[in-house]
Structure formats: C-alpha cells, structure tokens
Amino acid sequence: MSKIIPFKAVRPTRDKVYLLSSRPSYSYNKKHLESKLEGNPYTFLHVINPEFREDDTTKPNTVERFEKVRDKYDEFKSLGYFTQDEVPAIYIYRQITPTNTYIGIIAAASVDDYLNGKIKVHEHTLSQREEMFKKYLNVCKFNAEPVLLTYKDNENIDALLEKYVNTRSEYEFTNTREVKHDLWIVNDKKDIETLQEAFANVDNSYIADGHHRVSSSSLYTKSQREKGYNGDEDFNYFMAFYIAESKLRIFGYNRTVNSLNNLSSEEFLLQIEKSFTLTKRKEEYHPKSLHNLSMYFDESWYSLTIKGEFIENDNPVGCLDAQLLSNLVLSPILGIHDLKTDNRVNFIEGTKGMKALQDSVDSNKAKVAFGFFPVSIDQLKRVADTNNIMPPKSTWIEPKIRSGLTVFEF
C-alpha cells in the first residue's frame, strides 16, 4: 500500500511559469548559472542563489545561507510571482523531449512509507548530506523539487492520466532545450480518491532519484514528531513525482579514468584481456547488451565483453556491469578502490553519448573511458528488493523535474 495525499501547491503564475521554473541549480556550470541569474529576474535560481550581486555573503549550507533562501522565496511570493492553490490538489505533469515523453503525478508522499520500507532504496546516503538537507528543511520549510519515485504500471492510474491529458493544461510551455512541459490540476475530490485508491493497491515504489532528499525528510519528520504529532501534519510528507516503470528512462552512467596506474598501453590491454573478450572497432562503439561495455583508449574504440566465469548471476549487485568493472578493472588493475573518494575516476551521464567519452580522452582529461549498457528497471528493483546497494553512480535516470514548478510548504 502506498499513501499519497493532495496538497496546496505554491506555483508560478501562468504568465511567468516558463521564466520562473528552472532546472536544478547543480545542473548549471558557473558561467551558465551566472548568465541565467543576470538575464532573468524571475528564475527560481535566484531563490537557490540568494546572494547574487551581494557583497555580504554567507558560507554555503549554513543556517545563515538557508535563511537568505527562505527570505528570497518570501520575496518572490510578495512580488506576486507565486500563487497558492486554495484547495488541495494532485498535479499531473508531462514532459516531452525530442526523444521521449514522460508523464506522472506530483503528490505528497508519506515519510512512513519510506520508514516502513514501502518506498525502497538502491543507493547509500551520506550522513553529512542528510544533515545538511535536514538543516535546509528546518529553516526553509519547503520542497521545491519533487523526489522521483517509480511504481509498477497501473491501469486505473493510466486511465485517469489519459482523462486529463485530453483537456487543456494549466501550464504549457517549451524551453530552449526543446522540452515541452504541461501541468494539469486534479482538485476534483472523486478523481483524487480514484488516484489514492489506485496507489493503495501499489505494493511498493522505488526511489529513482532523490535518495538524500527522502532520507533527510525522514530525519526532519522524526525531529518534529518529538514535539508531538497526530500524523496529519505536512511534515509527515514530502513532495514526489510518481512515474510508471514503463515511462521511466534509465541511461548508463559512464566512467573515465585519468591514470593507468603506471602501466604501459600494452600492459594495460593485456590485463584487460584476462577478464574480457576485447575487440577493436573502427568506429564509435555503443554497448550492445548487458555485460558488453565500450572502451575508448589510445584513439581507438573497443568492445569489451565480460567473460562468463566472472559474472555472479545469483548476486543482485555482483552481476551489475558497474560493479564488475570495479571488480575486474578499476580496483585490481588501476588501483581505484573507492569510487566516492578517488579523484582519478570521473563520471559522465549516458545522455551525453559516447562522444563525451572520446572527447575526454582526446583532450587529455582522461587516459581511458568506459561506456555501459543501461541498467534495467528489473535489475534496479532486484537490488532494492533484496536490501542491497548499487555501486555509486550506476544510473542516470530521467525525467529531471524542474525546480519551482510546484512547491510543497510545511
């Protein structure tokens, strides 16, 4: 059983939504971020970066910085950039990219579903980041970007989505990346009950993106419950975007390494051939299937197929290509034992394609690059269902939801 509830979203006014909502702040490089802040007074990036053009600055991730975030958010509200819905609602959100269409619902998800294991995880969280996000919640008291949750396809949910998609949306805009965004408001009580009943029949949901945000929400909830609660307070929930498994897209999360651990090119390739069938390719190579990787090295592309005796099919993690690369190459050959701390390895999201790997090596930023075939949703669920954890940065999952499109206050 999965519990969702409607909430009174704080949303951009219709005339400003395409200017206000933004990609997450972390997805911009410094130069691009400054350009956005300079050229657009309405962007939600000003809320997340409240000290733009200010001389008196605070340290990142401090109470003082978060207080400025909250002040800037309140300023946006006072200026009329935001409006709040008068009645609780659930929101249908659709994102159409040049290659995919994503659709699901934005609702408040239950922290208790996370605490009792109904919302499942596949990544470790870092205590330091959990505490930082908890501090942010304690000061700012809002979610501006929903956690991405996925669930097994459900005909009743699909039918209600279809009903609304055939009507005019509250928001309809396209950004400069050729991505179209639509938002519908579901405030009809019967339709809300239909969605809640349908999700009550969803046994489990899985965190696709946002592990730290969910974990910190649970810490915040626990701290508030110490003061007394009845379970209906907003702090018992967090904002989530629920999308069916069939509509989610999982891409590989590729690796580059900037050192051969004092090996010559010939020695490195000989070591690789102990665990892989190595085939040189004339053109850019994309992995064709599970346990087949691409490698770019010394201005050449290679197909790497993992030899069967090294694949642990009975182990949900041991059969993942990202883990196998660590077990067979990164650790024993290149001396990289901890992907979280070793600065010799870098990660490139699969959406950038194999060209990004070649560019990294050809520009001497890396010595060798590895590309993965994407993890399947079944592999992800198998890891989560067995209480295992994937290697760091095993997946790049889309859609990425915009910040400030709907805000959940508590």
Encoding tokens for residue 253? Answer: 């999360």
For 268-289, what is each residue's pLDDT tens digit? 999 999 999 999 999 999 999 9
Given the DSSP bridges, would you call strands 147-151 and 90-96 parallel, antiparallel or unpaired? unpaired
CA gap 355, 301 in Å, rounded: 11
Mean pLDDT of the chain: 96
Q: What is the mean pLDDT of residues 348-366?
A: 97
399 preceded by a cis bond (ω within 30 of 0): yes
CA gap 199, 205 in Å, rounded: 10
The answer to whether residue 56 scores a pLDDT higher than 90 is: no
What's the confidence (pLDDT) of residue 25?
84
What's the confidence (pLDDT) of residue 184?
98
What's the confidence (pLDDT) of residue 24?
86
What is the pTM assigned to this prediction? 0.93
Phi, psi (deg, nearest 5) at residue 190: -65, -40
CA gap 96, 180 in Å, rounded: 5
For 107-121, what is each residue's pLDDT tens digit? 999 999 999 999 999
What's the confidence (pLDDT) of residue 126?
79
Q: What is the mean pLDDT of residues 338-367?
A: 95
What's the confidence (pLDDT) of residue 395?
94
Confidence of residue 220 (pLDDT cuts 50, 70, 90): very high
Tally Cβ neighbours within 10 Å of residue 392: 15
- Whether residue 397 contacts residue 100, with contact meaning beta carbons closer than 8 Å, is answered with no
Tokens 């659930």, residue located: 90
What's the confidence (pLDDT) of residue 143?
98
Provide the residue ranges of all domains of the chain, joining segments of one domain with +: 4-247, 251-394
What's the confidence (pLDDT) of residue 80?
98
The answer to whether residue 248 scores a pLDDT higher than 90 is: yes
- Whether residue 161 contacts residue 92, with contact meaning beta carbons closer than 8 Å, is answered with yes
What's the confidence (pLDDT) of residue 237?
98
Q: Is 309 exposed, middle or buried (0-12, 13-18, 19+ CB in 10 A)?
A: exposed
What's the confidence (pLDDT) of residue 27?
85
What's the confidence (pLDDT) of residue 182?
98
Tokens 């934005």, residue located: 106
Name the strand (E) or helix (H) holding 198: helix 189-200
> What's the CATH fold of domain 251-394?
3.30.1760
The answer to whether residue 125 scores a pLDDT higher than 90 is: no
Encoding tokens for residue 250? Answer: 């999982």
CA gap 354, 360 in Å, rounded: 10
The answer to whether residue 1 scores a pLDDT higher than 90 is: no
Segment of 18-27, 128-137, 223-232, 292-301 carrying the highest mean pLDDT: 292-301
Please tell me whether residue 243 adopts helix, strand or coil conformation: strand
